[in-house]
Amino acid sequence: MASVPLAYELLADIFKIYANFQDTSPEALLQVCRTWNAVASQESILWTKFVISRAMIRSTNPNVFSREEDPTLTRDWVGIFKRRLARAGPSIPLQISILALHELLLPVIDVVSGGGPEYVHLPRWETLNMRTFELIGSNNWPGSWAEIGTLISQPMPSLKRLTLQENKIDFYAFPNAPNLEELNVLHSRSPRIGRKNSFPNLKKIHITYSKYSLSLVCLRKFSLRTIETLIIGGASEIDRDCEGTYPSLSTLELVLRVPCGIAYMSAPKLRHLILRNVDLFCLIHPPPDGENQHFNSKAKNRQVLEMLASRFPTVEVLEVHENLRNLVSEMVFCGAGFFTGLKELRTVSEEEQGWTYD
């Protein structure tokens, strides 16, 4: 029985799903058969994802990203990305991931940015994911990757989703991204991202603080009026860095302990509060006089819950670690003004405690 070719529309939809997986190459679709080649060549959306990573570098030395090394590119990535851009057309938004930095990769990055000083493709960047483990500066300091610093100092008018993970950025990067809707800063020394009016349409923020103070992102210097979802993780004390009124905030998620600085927040429309950690109270480092800070944890957790109920009386859905459910239930049924508008109490299971951002 002869096989029946898939309809163009069905095959195109399958290719789009394939293109969304990690470590896939749309160029591979061109090699299968004439039909696949014809469909893939016509679907511009398949050619809009660009990932710059360690996999592009060939070296026998494990210390491949030392600037003193002399590795080579695994393929002609400049040519491949130029052809990919041509197939994408002149106007479709681009999805960019920069997951490594090396001298050999700078020309590849120039292809998708358009290169300085014009950076003609930057207005098309819709998402940017940077995870470089490198110091990115605005000056020509040794090892500071000033070329990338210059790139991320340019206006990005179409950028909607920005993820900075495990980078060190020591200047005010991304000063003009007026359509940014989602900002994720994960374990990054990136305290000076944007300015007061850099992100006027920001809706979702996820910040995972490392243990050193330079990782703090000063939210109070942002425009807070449009933020709807705020996720805070990490062990640092944020002090007054989140101070301010969040008039649109409806969901607040605290992945680890509740920073004391949360007491400086006001969110008159908060409906959903998520507390993932088994203990909510902050620890002091170093412990005063060798004190066991976990002593009397129930009373300390109660105190934090009372603070949260006072700050956010409009909460209707409360999610807590399963080990805190009994305490929360006790406080709810005892009354005394504890989340008086609460409609639903949920628990976060032990399996969910390893939750991370992807």
Tens of pLDDT, residue by residue over 266-281, are 999 999 999 999 888 7
Q: Is residue 274 part of a domain?
A: no
Q: How confident is the model at residue 286 (pLDDT cuts 50, 70, 90)?
A: low
Q: How far is it, in rounded angstroms, from Cα 118 to Cα 150?
A: 11
**Each residue's pLDDT tens digit, 22-38:** 777 887 777 788 877 78
| Pair 173, 152: CB distance under 8 Å | yes
* Lowest-confidence segment of 67-76, 141-150, 281-290, 341-350 by average pLDDT: 281-290
Could you count the other beta carbons within 10 Å of the beta carbon of residue 260? 15
DSSP 126-186: EEEEE---SEE-SS--TTS-HHHHHHTTS--TT--EEEEES-EE-S------TT--EEEEE
Q: How far is it, in rounded angstroms, from Cα 259 to Cα 236?
A: 8
Q: How confident is the model at residue 331 (pLDDT cuts 50, 70, 90)?
A: confident
Whole-number Cα distances in Å, 136 to 43, 109, 123, 146, 222:
35, 15, 21, 6, 22
Q: How far is it, in rounded angstroms, from Cα 201 to Cα 264?
A: 22
Q: Is residue 30 part of a domain?
A: yes
Q: Which two tokens stand for residue 301?
A: 């957790």
- Does residue 316 surpass a pLDDT of 70? yes
Number of domains within the chain: 1
Q: Is residue 82 part of a domain?
A: no
Phi/psi for 8 (5° steps) reads -55, -50
Q: Is residue 34 part of a domain?
A: yes
Q: Is residue 124 part of a domain?
A: no
Q: What is the mean pLDDT of residues 294-298?
A: 76
Q: What is the mean pLDDT of residues 300-313?
A: 91
For residue 36, the enclosing domain spans: 7-46
Q: Is residue 354 part of a domain?
A: no
Q: How far is it, in rounded angstroms, from Cα 45 to Cα 88?
A: 6
Q: Is residue 13 part of a domain?
A: yes
Q: Which pTM was predicted?
A: 0.87
Q: Smallest Cα–Cα separation from 158: which of 177, 185, 172?
A: 177
Please report which residue ranges of the chain form alpha helices under DSSP H.
Answer: 8-20, 34-42, 77-88, 106-113, 146-151, 297-311, 325-333
Q: Is residue 16 part of a domain?
A: yes
Q: Is 32 exposed, middle or buried (0-12, 13-18, 19+ CB in 10 A)?
A: exposed
